[in-house]
A and B are shown apart, each in its own frame.
Chain A
Amino acid sequence: MQTGDVGPLELLVIQPTPFCNIHCSYCYLPNRQSTRRMARDTLERAFEWVFSSGLVRRPFTLLWHAGEPMVVPPSFYDDAAAILARYDSTGDLVTQSFQTNATLITPEWCELIRRHRIRVGVSVDGPAFLHDARRRTRSGQGTLARVLKGIRLLRDAEIHVHVITVLTADSLSYPDELLDFYLENGLDDIAFNVEEIEGPNKTSSLQGIEMQERFRRFLDRFLDLALHMDPPLRVREFECPAASALGKRIGAGERVQESKPFAIVNVGCDGELSTYSPELLGLSSPRHGGFALGNVATDSLPSVLASPRFQALDDEIARGVEMCRQQCRYFAFCGGGPPGNKFFENGTFASTETLFCRLHKQACFDVALDHLERSTVQA
């Protein structure tokens, strides 16, 4: 496989630190207690690796993630912006984004976000009885009050916030309460994730056949409410399935972002790099070894592509995509389930359906199409 056969880079995930200042019950990050931080030299090498790799053939997003990104000081990101400017002098090539728990937001962070035009996604799970049940400090305290303070600071600074809410079994009984929560806090750009079986999170409260129907009812109800608002809320789990249904279908041989080699590049705080699902970074398996395929300081992209470990991994992932194509009715709209979920749930990338597929792909698609089918077209 040659460099031109992989990528182009769509998403660069950089881990400034694996550490997270809170301790969510469903977290998939294995090293979130580690306080290691990325050195400036490692950051320099990471950008040098990316921009010399031949993967940058279109604009891409740089996501600071895989630990709480605001654990490191704002100066880290000023340094990063200065390095980035050497490669992207016009600022047209790279869009930066934070995914944060928002508990550490200060006016200084807001200034930095505005200065570098960084996008912000906040993880918040709804009203306190839902959020604080799962998203707690290490001492067991709920975090919602601090999150909402952070969101208020962002909003006061006129920074748009989109939110990701992780749905657990408990959440599914409260679509109305969730909608009220978003409205009360001025949140109009919503994404739902489901509690997934990933990494250290070995089980999900959403396992069980009855959860699929509950999830569908939840989403149907939430969309009924959210899409009838004036203006309607933006709900990713409607818009993306709707777009997929009305857009060009995915065919044989095509791969989507998480299964396409080096469409995503993940760089850990010590410079270790991986591709495919970001959740795999920092993990290993007896059969595959570590999912990190090299280090930005020592391994060029051609050397990674030539390694038997990468080739075996890519072959297994490709077989899994082909199995999805042959077996799943939703393939034309999905392109195959995320490799990370397949590995964590099925023990192999050469597999098909997962809990994540049944809920976040299939149920979302079905419910979104229910709403499209009930809608009318006006010229």
Chain B
Amino acid sequence: MSSITRRELLKRLLGCAAATAGTVVVAESVVAKAQEPTETTDVTPKEPEERADQLAEKFPEPTGDLEATSFVNRAFRNGGGFVNGGFRNGGFVNGGFRNGGFVNGGFRNAAFRNW
């Protein structure tokens, strides 16, 4: 899978379809958004696991051996991809970051972060 394809998938995940209208337009819309006054709410922040659970419902199930250790190991280990509907089926990681990319079962920045 080419990195372009991977990026298409990332864009899909992020709902960035508007990006096809052009970088400048999207960037401007982001700037405008960033300048809006911050809304104050009294909503209690959700726990990390609660948030992850809700995202797991929102996004289709991961396949393969996707592990949470990827947070530190930077590894979507042994592929299986990111999530369904785009990242799976070889998607996000298998076959493709940079120059044949994802090697050694590891995301480029292994747990040790200084490389």
Contact = CB atoms under 8 A, between A and B. Distances in A.
Interface of A: 10-11, 13, 58-61, 63, 65, 95, 97, 99, 117, 119, 121, 160, 162, 164, 189, 191, 193, 221, 224-225, 227-232, 234, 236, 239-250, 254, 256-258, 263-264, 277-279, 329-330, 332-335, 338, 360-361, 365-366, 369, 371-379
Given A60-B104, A227-B10, 8 more contacts: A58-B105, A229-B23, A240-B71, A243-B107, A332-B52, A333-B52, A365-B71, A374-B15
Contacts of B90: none
Contact of B112 (A60, A117, A247, A277): A277
A314 B5 CA distance: 43
Given A232-B10, A375-B13, A246 B83 contact: yes
A244 B22 contact: no
B115 A378 contact: no
Contacts of B83: 246
A325 to B, nearest CB: 13
A227 B16 contact: yes
A95 B111 contact: no
A76 B108 CA distance: 24
B112 A119 contact: no
B48 interface: yes
Given A228-B16, A247-B66, A369-B55, A330 B111 contact: no
Given A229-B23, A246-B56, A246-B83, A99 B74 contact: no
A256 B47 contact: no
Interface in B19-62: 19-20, 22-23, 26-27, 30, 33-34, 47-49, 51-52, 54-56, 58-60, 62
Contacts of A230: 11, 16, 19-20, 22-23, 26
10 contacts: A191-B113, A230-B22, A232-B16, A234-B10, A246-B62, A247-B70, A329-B48, A372-B59, A373-B54, A374-B15
Contacts of A241: 71
B47 A329 contact: yes
Contacts of A239: 107
The 5 A-B pairs with the shortest beta carbon distances in the complex, nearest first, are: A257-B111, A244-B71, A231-B7, A376-B15, A247-B66
A250 B75 CA distance: 14
Nearest to A123: B114
B70 to A, nearest CB: 4
B105 to A, nearest CB: 6
B55 A224 contact: no
A264 B68 CA distance: 19
Residue among A59, A117, A239 with the highest chain B CB neighbour number at 10 A: A239
A243 B15 contact: no
Nearest to B21: A230
Contact of A228 (B4, B19, B59, B113): B19
A231 B4 contact: yes
B112 A257 contact: yes
B89 interface: no
B66 A257 contact: no
Given A191-B109, A258-B111, A333-B52, A231 B66 contact: no
A13 B12 CA distance: 36
B39 to A, nearest CB: 14
Given A231-B11, A246-B83, A377 B66 contact: no
A160 B11 contact: no
Contacts of A243: 66, 68, 70-71, 76, 82, 107
B114 A332 contact: no
Contacts of B12: 378
B112 A264 contact: yes
A338 B83 CA distance: 28
A256 B111 contact: yes
Nearest to B38: A217
Given A10-B106, A256-B111, A333 B71 contact: yes
Given A231-B4, A377-B60, A162 B85 contact: no
A144 B107 CA distance: 27
A360 B112 CA distance: 12
B85 A378 contact: yes
B3 to A, nearest CB: 8
Contacts of A164: 109, 113-115
Interface in B89-115: 97-99, 103-115
